[in-house]
Amino acid sequence: MNLHRKPIPVEEAVQRVMEHKPQQKSEEVRLEDSYGRILAEDIKATHAVPPFNKSPYDGFAIRAADTAKASKESPVGFVVTETVAAGHRASRALESGEAVRIMTGAEIPEGATCVAMFEICQTEEKANATYMSIKRSMEDGQNIIERGSETEEGEVLVCKGEIINPGIQAVLATFGYAKVQVYQQPRVGVFATGTELLDIDQPLEPGKIRNSNAYMVLAQIERSGAEPVYFGKLADDFDTCYEAVRQALSEVDILITTGGVSVGDYDLMPDIYEKLGADVLFNKIAMRPGSVTTVAALGQQLLFGLSGNPSACYVGYELYTHPFIQAYLGNQRVYHNVIDAELGADFPKPNPFTRFVRGFVRYEEGKVCVYPAGIDKSAVVTSLAHSNVLIVLRGGTRGYQQGDAVRAILLEDTKGTESFQLYSS
Amino acid sequence: MNLHRKPIPVEEAVQRVMEHKPQQKSEEVRLEDSYGRILAEDIKATHAVPPFNKSPYDGFAIRAADTAKASKESPVGFVVTETVAAGHRASRALESGEAVRIMTGAEIPEGATCVAMFEICQTEEKANATYMSIKRSMEDGQNIIERGSETEEGEVLVCKGEIINPGIQAVLATFGYAKVQVYQQPRVGVFATGTELLDIDQPLEPGKIRNSNAYMVLAQIERSGAEPVYFGKLADDFDTCYEAVRQALSEVDILITTGGVSVGDYDLMPDIYEKLGADVLFNKIAMRPGSVTTVAALGQQLLFGLSGNPSACYVGYELYTHPFIQAYLGNQRVYHNVIDAELGADFPKPNPFTRFVRGFVRYEEGKVCVYPAGIDKSAVVTSLAHSNVLIVLRGGTRGYQQGDAVRAILLEDTKGTESFQLYSS
């Protein structure tokens, strides 16, 4: 066991993880099952929008040329030949002197060159026929939304790698994507380690605590859009542990363990990595919390050894596991957004290493403010409950004051970003 | 049919909807199935945290009084009686002159009053026993995290009405909530109306378009955390329509229709509301798009008549249906967050009525900037695909310029807010 691990910077650790390119697989899902999944194909306009010349108003479709001499003093008259509602079309082409009553969204009849809104037309019923007259001249194309004016056929509207939201679902429906190719969700296995851990339905025992990290990580995996698989607690015994990890690796794409990565007497993970022949990418990072976060690669699979401390475990997951899962998912923007923000409260602790403080965001008069969660009480899991950002406090500082410019990692923003930049520059 | 509907302000329309209090129902789910659901019970600390006095470091638990006279010149010696790892406890109380080797997170043995970190201790093996000596004095309580210092037993940690996130799942696990009470998700039915609508798997026909609103709304319902139920398209014929709506109302908690609420010849919904005996809360709102959005109440059920225009449909859902669903879900903060932001691009159109412009948010140097989506091209559904905010442009203005202060409704923020304030004041 190497007691003198050399810490590497956070950015380097992220880079070492992301150098591993997972093999994306896609599958076809029904449109109605696609919400929240990630597109594995570009979505193209399968037809022009609108697919035909259409009317933006209720009115009369006519030939503009017929109105050339219309004025208040000498209105021009038309015979109304038929009515076209949205979804229907005229029975024949329109000729000079004819008008077709047309509803919003309906197709412009062949031969018509403009639409006169109801408001400017006078109608009259006479001898079982309807007549319309107009007192002003119209222009060709007036009140006509032209075929293809919004979207041309073949245009790429949404690129693969986008998360399907309600608007994208509307695009898919518009263009007849009854089924759509999305990336498969990786299966992410979770083991908890630690003899002090009780199952959640066990009564509290002297010296023991309940296993909270595993459930937290399962929810984090779900929030990342992957499929969590819980394998329970790892036993105390090395051989049993090793066998359990080896078996789990055959069932999942990514494996997470919580605890067991420190340098304590009972930390098994380093030896398991060694026996598996996994390549340890790093086992010490210049960050707080989570400095012992360890990642190992075994072929295409990554093993994330997260800390047993809840807040270190949380931070380690979001910094290293989340983007790797996004790469698996085919997300175009794999990283959490890191934004500039104003610190909403003092954080007097000095930071020899870069610190990630759980916190929440507030938007105040056009500014983005971030507040440490539960700074006055130290119950870690409770403050995690109220967090939606990680406030980034640069290492080598003597603490921060309210109003200081800081960076913050947005944990619930679905947009993400293509490159990871912890600091503005 | 009343052609002269009187428009009411957006805030009043929201208020009329939210005066209807849905009957919340709760159900028990397993912790691992609870992510994203809303708590129907306060989560209390079922035990103190930590549940016992514990050590924050690896070290030796001793009596501080024993070290009173320790100095560099005259170290004080202890006999090491046993080792306690996390999850274990000492076999007996510690007595004066004794030290217990203790690991991070382990329970402080009875009788011990402080922990000396390994780094300040000298150990020695002698005649099958281990001895430890220390060169400085310690104080009672030093390096001991006291029972209950983080959380007292019975303390409310997370209030009902909160959305379960990874941190809350950790809290639930910590306190043994293997099952948890959450609010039931309302079933929200969706009908599309419009003879021009084709099903998504039908080929395009002259004059027709595919039904995109229904799929968009189904995804919006899912984003709101409710259960969508798609009933297909409503027929053209009044009696069949009426019967379909009546039947659907017996199967869902909330019913949404898209289209059919204008004053056109083919708009059936107003007559259906009348025949059902539903109380129309409003049918005209001083807003663009979505001015014809109609909401009707039938006992405890609300019927949302959204516009057939995609962007009006989208906006009507987010303003009126989303908060009502949140009330059903028991969310403490039912409304989308409305924030101050800077407009990122010109929007030259004058606004006789309050306008909700689909757009997206960018965080730039600590500022929140919002950009209209697809302002240069008018393909509505495509711009909805890229939207995560609605930019609020106040009515009675001559258009807006880049840099102007505006308000924006965050559509993907899960936090929400308790009161709806369209404008800052």
Residues A240-286: pLDDT tens digits? 999 999 999 999 999 999 988 766 556 789 999 999 999 999 999 99
What region does B418 belong to: left with phi over 0, alpha with psi -120 to 50, or beta?
A: alpha
Asked if residue A282 and residue A265 are part of one domain, the reply reads yes
Q: Which residues of B touch A173 (CB under 8 A)?
A: 200, 210-212, 214-216
Domain that holds residue B231: 10-22+186-329
Reported as a single tens digit per residue, the pLDDT across B10-26 is 999 999 999 999 988 99
Is there a cis peptide before residue B350, judged by omega within 30 degrees of 0? no
Domain boundary among A282, A310, A329: A329
Q: Among residues B308, B254, B249, which one has the least CA distance to residue B277?
A: B249
Please tell me the predicted confidence (pLDDT) of residue B2. Answer: 46
| B-interface mutation test, from A100, A156, A200, A383, most B Cβ less than 10 A away | A200
Nearest CA in chain B to A87: B196
With CB atoms and an 8 Å threshold, state whether B103 touches A204. Answer: no
Residues of chain A contacting B165 with CB distance shorter than 8 Å: 219, 223, 385, 388, 412
Residues B33 and B166 in one domain: yes
Same structural domain for residues A271 and A356?
A: no
Check CB contact under 8 Å for B176 and A202.
yes
Verify whether the Cβ–Cβ distance B167 to A213 is below 8 Å: no
Q: Is residue B205 part of a domain?
A: yes
DSSP letter assigned to residue B119: G
- The answer as to whether A237 is a domain residue is yes
In a domain, A424, yes or no: no
A130: Cβ–Cβ under 8 A, 6 or more apart, which residues?
A79, A80, A101, A123, A124
With respect to residue B422, please indicate whether it lies within any of the assigned structural domains: no
Cα→Cα distances A112→A55, A90, A177, B265, Å: 11, 11, 33, 22
Query: Does B145 reside within a domain?
Result: no
What's the length of chain B?
425
**CATH number of the domain that B121 lies in?**
2.170.190.11
> Rg of the Cα trace of chain B?
32
Chain B residues lying within 8 Å of A105, measured CB to CB: 196, 209, 308
On the CB side of A33, how many CA atoms lie within 13 Å of its CA?
8
Contact A348, A372 (CB under 8 A): no
- β-pairing, A354-364 vs A389-393, is antiparallel
Mutation pick from A108, A268, A382, A425 vs chain B, by most beta carbons of B within 10 Å, is: A382
Burial class (CB in 10 A: 0-12, 13-18, 19+), A280: middle
Angle at A388 between CA A383 and CA A390, to 5 degrees: 80
- Through-space distance between the first and last CA atoms of chain A, rounded to whole angstroms: 37
Q: Which residues of A touch B425 (CB under 8 A)?
A: none
Co-location of A208 and A238 in the same domain: yes
Residue in A58, A86, A366 nearest the CB of B195: A86
CB contact under 8 A, B85 and A265: yes
CB spacing of B382 vs A222 below 8 angstroms: no
Phi, psi angle pair for B26, to nearest 5°: -115, 160
Model pLDDT, residue B140: 97
Residues of chain A found within 8 Å of residue B232, distances taken between Cβ atoms: none
Write out chain A residues lying below 8 Å of B414, CB-based.
388, 412
Contact B171 A384 (CB under 8 A): yes
Contact A366 B405 (CB under 8 A): yes
Question: Is the same domain home to B178 and B34?
Answer: yes
- The answer to whether B393 touches B405, Cβ cutoff 8 Å, is no
What residue ranges of chain A have pLDDT lower than 50? 1-2, 378
Quote the pLDDT of residue A374: 77
The helix or strand, by DSSP H or E, that contains position B244, with its residue range, turns out to be helix B238-249
Distance of residue B49 Cα from the nearest chain A Cα, in angstroms: 7
Do residues B313 and B378 both lie within one domain? no
Whole-number pLDDT of residue B1: 42
Chain A residues within 8 A of B194 when measuring between CB atoms? 86-87
Q: How far apart are CA A313 and CA A219, in angstroms?
A: 13
Q: At what angle are helices B213-224 and A166-174 packed, to 10 degrees? A: 160
What is the domain-level CATH number for residue A371?
2.40.340.10
A278 domain-assigned? yes
Q: Could A382 and B210 be called an inter-chain contact, meaning their C-beta atoms sit closer than 8 Å?
A: no
Instruction: For residue A77, list its beta bridge partners.
Output: A133
pLDDT value of position A378: 46
pLDDT tens digit string along A338-379? 999 999 999 988 888 999 999 999 999 889 999 999 765 545
pTM: 0.91
Within a domain: A109: yes
User: In terms of domains, do B213 and B317 share one?
Assistant: yes
A212, A315, A378: best mutation site toward chain B, by most B Cβ within 10 Å? A212
Same domain, residue pair A207 and A322: yes
Kindly determine whether residue B341 and residue A149, on different chains, have CB atoms separated by under 8 Å.
no
Identify which of A179, A175, A180 has the alpha carbon closest to the alpha carbon of residue A49.
Answer: A175
Instruction: Count Cβ neighbours within 10 Å for each residue of B34-62 and write b for 16 or more, e otherwise.
Output: bbebbbbeebebebbbbbbbbbeebbbbb
Put simply, the answer to whether A218 touches B169 (Cβ < 8 Å) is yes
Please give the backbone phi and psi of residue A233, each rounded to the nearest 5 degrees, phi first: -90, 145
- Are B201 and B160 within one domain? no
Residues of chain B with C-beta less than 8 angstroms from the C-beta of A385: 157-158, 162, 165, 167-168, 170-171
Predicted local confidence at residue B41, as pLDDT: 97
Query: What does the pLDDT profile of chain B (425 residues) look like in tens digits?
Result: 445 678 999 999 999 999 999 988 999 999 999 999 999 999 999 999 888 999 988 999 999 999 999 999 999 999 999 999 888 899 999 999 999 999 988 999 999 999 999 999 999 999 899 999 999 999 999 999 999 988 899 999 999 999 999 999 999 999 999 999 999 999 999 999 887 789 999 999 887 889 999 999 999 999 999 999 999 998 778 999 999 999 999 999 999 999 887 665 567 899 999 999 999 999 999 999 999 999 999 999 999 999 988 999 999 999 999 999 999 999 999 999 999 999 999 998 888 899 999 999 999 988 999 999 976 554 567 889 999 999 999 988 888 999 999 999 999 988 899 999 998 76
Same domain, B205 and B310: yes
Quote ipTM for the complex: 0.90
Q: Is B240 exposed, middle or buried (0-12, 13-18, 19+ CB in 10 A)?
A: exposed
Q: Of A31, A170, A195, which has the smallest distance from its Cβ to B381's Cβ?
A: A170
Peptide bond into B372 cis (omega under 30): no
| Nearest chain B Cα distance for residue A169, angstroms | 5
As given in the structure block, the two tokens for residue A134 are: 């107009």
- A-chain residues near B380 (CB < 8 A): 150
The burial class, CB within 10 Å (0-12 / 13-18 / 19+), for A221 is buried
Residue A214 lies inside a defined structural domain of this protein: yes
Last residue of a domain, one of B329, B362, B388: B329
Q: Do A195 and B87 touch (CB under 8 A)?
A: yes
Instruction: Please count the structural domains in chain B.
Output: 4
Q: Are residues A179 and A200 in the same domain?
A: no
Residue A126 burial class via C-beta count within 10 angstroms: exposed 0-12, middle 13-18, buried 19 and up: exposed
- B207 closest CB neighbour out of A106, A210, A230: A106
Whether A104 contacts A86, CB under 8 Å: yes
Q: Of the residues A277, A308, A329, which one is the last residue of a structural domain?
A: A329
Residue B252's CATH number: 3.40.980.10
- Which tokens is B144 given? 């001991």
Does residue A295 sit in the same domain as residue A354?
A: no
